[in-house]
Structure 1
Amino acid sequence: MSDLKKILELALSFERSGQEFYKSNMEKVKQALARETFKYLMDMESSHVEFIRKMIEKLKTDETINIEATGEKDEIFKERLKSQALSSNTYSNDLADLSILRMAYLIEKDFVEYYGKASEKIEDDRAKKLLTTLRVWEEGHMELLKRLMERIYEKNALDLGFYPF
Structure 2
Amino acid sequence: MSDFKSILEVALSFEKSGREFYKNNMQKVNQSVAKKTFEYLMEMEDSHVKFIEGMIEALEDNKEVDFALQEEAEEIFVERLESQALSNNSYSSDLADLSILRMAYLIERDFVDYYENASKNVEDTSAKKLMVKLMNWEKGHVTLVKDLMEKIYEKNAIDLGFYPF
Alpha-carbon separation, structure 2, partners of 1:61 and 1:126: 19
Larger mean Cα displacement after TM superposition, 62-71 or 89-98: 62-71
The aligned amino acid for 1:80 is R
Q: Does 1:18 align with 2:36?
A: no
Q: Does 1:59 align with 2:59?
A: yes
Which whole-Å deviations, capped at 9, do the CAs of 1:91-125 have from their partners, x for residues lacking one?
Answer: 00000100000000000000000010011011111
- Alignment size in residue pairs: 165
Alpha-carbon separation, structure 1, partners of 2:45 and 2:26: 14
Aligned-pair RMSD on alpha carbons? 0.9
Q: What is the percentage of aligned positions where both structures have the same residue?
A: 64
Task: List alignment gaps of at least 5 residues for structure 1.
Answer: none
The aligned amino acid for 2:55 is M
Alpha-carbon separation, structure 1, partners of 2:20 and 2:34: 16
Shift of 1:53: 0.2
The aligned amino acid for 1:33 is V
Q: Does 1:72 align with 2:72?
A: yes
Alpha-carbon separation, structure 2, partners of 1:69 and 1:140: 16
The aligned amino acid for 2:153 is Y
Q: What is the TM-score with the length of structure 1 in the denominator?
A: 0.97
- Equivalent residue runs for 1:138-157 within 5 Å: 138-157=138-157
Alpha-carbon separation, structure 2, partners of 1:30 and 1:102: 14
Which whole-Å deviations, capped at 9, do the CAs of 1:121-141 have from their partners, x for residues lacking one?
Answer: 111111101111111111111
The aligned amino acid for 1:90 is S
Shift of 1:60: 1.1
Alpha-carbon separation, structure 2, partners of 1:163 and 1:81: 21
The aligned amino acid for 1:92 is S
Shift of 1:160: 4.3
Alpha-carbon separation, structure 2, partners of 1:149 and 1:48: 24
Q: Does 1:38 align with 2:42?
A: no
Q: Does 1:112 align with 2:112?
A: yes
Q: What is the TM-score with the length of structure 2 in the denominator?
A: 0.97
Which whole-Å deviations, capped at 9, do the CAs of 1:72-106 have from their partners, x for residues lacking one?
Answer: 11111221122111000000000010000000000
Alpha-carbon separation, structure 2, partners of 1:6 and 1:33: 36
Q: Which runs of 4+ in 1 moved over 3 A?
A: none
- Equivalent residue runs for 1:77-88 within 5 Å: 77-88=77-88
The aligned amino acid for 1:156 is N
Alpha-carbon separation, structure 2, partners of 1:72 and 1:61: 27
